[in-house]
Amino acid sequence: MSLDKVLSISGKPGLYKLVAQTRGGFIAESLLDKKKISVNMQHNVSILSEIAIYTLQEELPLREVLNKIKTKENGKPTSVSHKESKDKLEEYFFEVLPDYDEDRVYASDIKKIIQWYNLLEKHNMLDFDKVEKSSDEEE
């Protein structure tokens, strides 16, 4: 699945899959418990494909960061939990992305990325490269 269809909704745990659009918003399905919710325009929604991580040179798309984690972990769940200490999280993220901007990427961001990676891995949704390449070929 493409990251264009995966959402983070502030105030709601986990990630959501875009199911359908409605007149005033859209319907999203939780990856945690498969419950569907109606999301209106008042919710703060982030589409994962539009998120980037600050590095010292540029902003790196989240997809590439997730791919780096997938490579490091051989497609398995992360070796650290998102509940680890700030120092452990930063140490782990430094192994994944050595040039990330430590002043602009906070421990809470790293925690969220690790949570998202593990949730996407659990649902077998980390092969978005194949999906995005095939949709690019159709154009």
Q: How far apart are CA 137 and CA 31, in angstroms?
A: 28
Q: Is 92 helix (H, G, I), strand (E, B) or coil?
A: helix
Quick one: average pLDDT of 90-106? 95
Percent of the chain past pLDDT 90, that is, above it, reads 76
Q: How far apart are CA 85 and CA 65, in angstroms?
A: 21
For each of the domains in the chain, give its residue range(s) and CATH number, in order of start.
3-48 (2.30.30), 51-138 (1.10.10.1650)
- Mean of pLDDT over the chain: 89
Q: What is the pLDDT of residue 131?
A: 45
Q: Amino acid letter at 76? A: K
* pLDDT surpasses 70 at 134: no
Q: How far apart are CA 81 and CA 36, in angstroms?
A: 27
* pLDDT surpasses 70 at 111: yes
